Structure 1
Amino acid sequence: MNTRNETTAPPVAFLPGYLCRTYAWAYLSPRTMPWLDRMPVVSAILWGNAGRLMRWTVDRFAPGDSVLQAACVYGALSPMLARRVGVGGRLDVRDVAPIQIANVRRKLAGLPQARAEVFDLVEPLDERFDGVCCFFLLHEVPEPERRRIVANLLAAVKPGGRAVFVDYHRPRRGHLLAPVMAVVFRWLEPFAESLLDVPLETLAAEARDFDWHKETRFGGLYQLVVATRR
Structure 2
Amino acid sequence: MMIRESAYQHKYIENNINYDFEDMNFVYGISLFKNYISNPNTFLNKVLFTIRNKLFKEVIKEINPDDKILQIGLSYGSQIPKMSKMLSNNGYIDIAGIAPDVLKRIKPLISPCSNVYVTFKDADKPPLNKYDKIVCFFMLYKSDDKQKSKIINALLQRLDVGGKLIFVDYHNPSKFNLFKFFMYIKNKLWHENALSLWKNQIVSFANFDEKSQFIWEKETYFGSLYQKVTVTKKN
TM range (shorter): 0.7 to 0.9
Distance across 1 between alignment mates of 2:43 and 2:85: 22
Any residues of structure 2 matched to 1:63-78 within 5 Å, and which?
63-78=65-80
The one of 88, 103, 106 aligned to 2:105:
103
Matched, 1:211 2:215: yes
Contact 1:63 1:89 in 2 (8 A): yes
The runs of 5 or more residues in structure 1 that have no matched partner are: 1-34
SS at match of 2:103: helix
Distance across 2 between alignment mates of 1:56 and 1:106: 25
Distance across 1 between alignment mates of 2:73 and 2:43: 19
SS at match of 2:181: helix
Distance across 1 between alignment mates of 2:108 and 2:185: 34
Higher relative contact order (CA 8 A, sep 6+): 1
Match of 1:182 in 2: 184
Runs of 4+ residues over 3 Å off in structure 1: 40-43, 102-105
Structure 1 residue 42: Cα displacement? 11
TM-score (norm 2): 0.76
Structure 1 residue 168: Cα displacement? 0.5
Match of 1:191 in 2: 193
The one-letter amino acid paired with 1:221 is L
Cα distance change, pair 169–55 in 1 and its aligned pair in 2 (3 A): same
Distance across 2 between alignment mates of 1:94 and 1:177: 31
Distance across 2 between alignment mates of 1:80 and 1:73: 14
- Measured on the aligned residues, the alpha-carbon RMSD in Å equals 2.3
How many residue pairs align between the two structures?
194
Match of 1:222 in 2: 226
SS at match of 1:191: helix
Distance across 2 between alignment mates of 1:130 and 1:101: 24
Structure 1 residue 86: Cα displacement? 3.5
Distance across 1 between alignment mates of 2:135 and 2:203: 15
Distance across 2 between alignment mates of 1:49 and 1:219: 12
The one of 86, 89, 94 aligned to 1:87:
89
The superposition leaves residues 81-139 of structure 1 with CA deviations (integer Å, 9 ceiling, x where unpaired) of: 21222333000111241122333433112221111111112225311111100001001
The runs of 5 or more residues in structure 2 that have no matched partner are: 1-38
Distance across 1 between alignment mates of 2:64 and 2:44: 25
Match of 2:145 in 1: 143
Distance across 2 between alignment mates of 1:42 and 1:219: 15
The superposition leaves residues 30-61 of structure 1 with CA deviations (integer Å, 9 ceiling, x where unpaired) of: xxxxx97x9x9997262531221111111111
Distance across 1 between alignment mates of 2:45 and 2:94: 24
The one of 149, 170, 173 aligned to 1:171:
173
Match of 2:4 in 1: none
